[in-house]
């Protein structure tokens, strides 16, 4: 029966691996409500092909996994968090296996594949449908839990907050507004790929959690780091969402070539086609910019192509292509946001009783470039940690009446879809794989003009406003990192001076504040003063930082 108001101990917004694991763990001690704007199975996790990385291989170790993660992330990672991820990952994954989750085996031994930037095989998989396998397994468990209530086709559009504390959310369900009162709120809404013209993400990945958290007062960090997956199937260059071709297929021996048969990645990295994703994406982008066509060549790789990669084989078969006999045309697409809502090792944000887990969050585990197949592991490990902290919070938190605004309205569809396309094109062309400062500055002015034409209040806004605001935050972060690092590749222009190599720093943004620099990964409890912003301040702030100092611009 439909209700206008729900009371629960914990509301979880989103249904990927992070949200579902949190729900299962929390259901052991509290009432849980999961809301998802589509069907339960629809999430970025569902489309994860390659697998989940963890040091379960006998020749592997958490230390080796740690080293690979830090190296892929250009050492911009939060080392403490990476240590937690790689040390706790094997036990967390083993617990899932013990509940009946099945991965590929060879002679009754887990089959580990190798992906780009991994020094050894450590990726567990279920052919090329690992995410679907995990989600299907978790949903079966979810539906058995009496303490879990599920609301599908329900979209959260505003968090209920008072005095920097979250008490639940408003959501839209079947064209009506419902209120959800909760002691704890968890955002696990996934990524933002749909903000870019070309993406591997499903239609639901529109940055809802980032927007909700930002409007509630959360700090955002590392938004300049958007990962572009190198190999999406591309016969039609006008698509928005593309079918992803797993990196595991290159781990199995496939190579990247252009129409002349040149294995061009040899010119970019000693690991050739298995270089880190940011480097491969730029290598492909360079070829495409020269008018070349880029192909994935699987013809001379291992024999069991079709049986090992059935989803990929079926997708390309619709276009009368086979892995065994044909070259597969590919292109990079927007794939994964390394930045997000700033969280700590327990997945807590700076807003009391508000958690963020998975791709919507950033605890520093991925650095400037995510190591392949670490995302599912991050969702698993930090969902477990969140559940433990939530249990502690519930034992000491007194529920307060939910702040309620009777005049609130749900977000309205964009009145002009051309403007949405304009934003997505702008992010793709000017804040994509290759960036430059002049174009970013121009883009920021254009986005600001668009935002000024959109009405926004605390009780009403359009989806166009949400997309434009998130675009502004991404472009702003990109402008404030003037040197290339990982997935953020920015070229100096005639008007630029190439900056001197500076010490590591992190950039945060918060509503009604200007961007801040930090010389170490910041705490969620860090409070800093705000000073005026100018280019001169940016330069002097970075050059004058003392150890442990934060500068807001």
What are the catalytic residues?
277
State both tokens at 228.
């572009």
Is residue 19 exposed (0-12), middle (13-18) or buried (19+ Cβ within 10 Å)? buried
What is the three-class DSSP state of 333?
A: strand
- Nearest to residue 192, comparing CAs of 45, 94, 337, 50? 337
Contact 471, 423 (CB under 8 A): yes
Contact 430, 440 (CB under 8 A): yes
State both tokens at 142.
């979810």
- Between the alpha carbon of residue 207 and those of residues 166, 513, 527, the distances in Å are 19, 20, 25
Please give the full DSSP string across 484-527, using - where no structure is assigned: -BTTB-EE--TT--PPPP----EEEE-TTS--EEESSPPPTT--
Length of the chain as a residue count: 553
* Count of beta carbons in the 10 Å neighbourhood of residue 113: 22
Q: How far apart are CA 69 and CA 48, in angstroms?
A: 19
* Count of beta carbons in the 10 Å neighbourhood of residue 139: 16
Half-sphere exposure of 511 (CA within 13 A, CB side): 16
Q: Kind and range of the H or E element at 21?
A: helix 17-26
Contact 481, 488 (CB under 8 A): yes
């Amino acid at each position: 029966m439909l209700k206008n108001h729900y009371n629960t101990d914990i509301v979880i917004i989103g249904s990927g691996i992070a949200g579902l694991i949190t729900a299962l763990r929390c259901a052991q001690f509290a009432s849980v409500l999961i809301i998802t704007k589509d069907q339960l199975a629809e999430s970025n996790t569902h489309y994860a092909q390659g697998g989940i990385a963890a040091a379960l291989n006998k020749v592997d170790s958490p230390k080796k996994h740690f080293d690979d993660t830090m190296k892929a992330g250009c050492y911009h990672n939060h080392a403490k968090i990476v240590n937690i991820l790689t040390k706790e990952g094997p036990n967390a994954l083993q617990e899932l296996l013990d509940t009946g989750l099945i991965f590929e085996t060879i002679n009754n031994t887990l089959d580990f594949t190798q992906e780009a930037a991994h020094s050894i095989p450590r990726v567990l998989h279920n052919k090329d449908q690992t995410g679907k396998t995990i989600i299907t397994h978790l949903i079966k468990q979810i539906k058995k839990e009496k303490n879990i209530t599920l609301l599908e086709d329900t979209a959260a559009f505003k968090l209920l907050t008072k005095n920097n504390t979250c008490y639940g959310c408003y959501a839209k369900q079947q064209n009506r507004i419902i209120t959800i009162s909760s002691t704890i709120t968890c955002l696990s809404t996934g990524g933002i790929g749909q903000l870019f013209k070309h993406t591997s993400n499903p239609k639901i990945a529109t940055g809802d959690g980032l927007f909700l958290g930002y409007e509630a007062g959360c700090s955002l960090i590392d938004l300049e780091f958007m990962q572009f997956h190198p190999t999406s199937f591309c016969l039609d260059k006008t698509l928005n969402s593309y079918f992803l071709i797993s990196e595991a297929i290159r781990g199995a021996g496939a190579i990247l070539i252009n129409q002349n048969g040149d294995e061009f990645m040899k010119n970019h990295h000693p690991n050739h086609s298995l270089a880190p994703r940011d480097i491969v994406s730029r290598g492909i982008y360079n070829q495409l910019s020269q008018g070349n066509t880029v192909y994935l060549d699987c013809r001379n790789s291992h024999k069991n192509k079709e049986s090992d990669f059935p989803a990929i084989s079926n997708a390309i078969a619709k276009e009368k292509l086979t892995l065994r006999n044909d070259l597969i045309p590919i292109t990079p697409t927007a794939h994964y946001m390394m930045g997000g809502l700033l969280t700590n090792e327990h997945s807590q944000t700076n807003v009391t009783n508000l958690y963020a887990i998975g791709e919507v969050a950033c605890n520093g585990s991925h650095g400037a470039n995510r190591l392949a197949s670490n995302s599912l592991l991050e969702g698993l490990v930090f969902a477990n940690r969140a559940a433990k902290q939530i249990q502690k919070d519930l034992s000491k938190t007194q529920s307060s009446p939910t702040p309620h605004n009777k005049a609130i309205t749900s977000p309205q569809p964009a009145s002009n879809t051309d403007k949405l396309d304009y934003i997505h094109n702008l992010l793709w062309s000017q804040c994509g794989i290759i960036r430059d400062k002049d174009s970013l500055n121009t883009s920021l002015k254009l986005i600001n003009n668009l935002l000024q034409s959109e009405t926004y209040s605390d009780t009403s806004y359009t989806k166009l406003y949400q997309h434009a605001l998130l675009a502004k935050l991404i472009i702003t972060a990109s402008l404030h990192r003037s040197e290339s690092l990982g997935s953020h590749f920015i070229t100096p222009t005639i008007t630029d001076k190439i900056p001197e190599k500076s010490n590591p720093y992190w950039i945060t943004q918060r509503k009604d504040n200007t961007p801040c620099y930090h010389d170490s990964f910041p705490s969620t409890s860090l409070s800093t003063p705000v000073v005026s912003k100018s280019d001169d301040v940016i330069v002097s702030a970075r050059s004058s930082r003392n150890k442990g100092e934060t500068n807001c611009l």
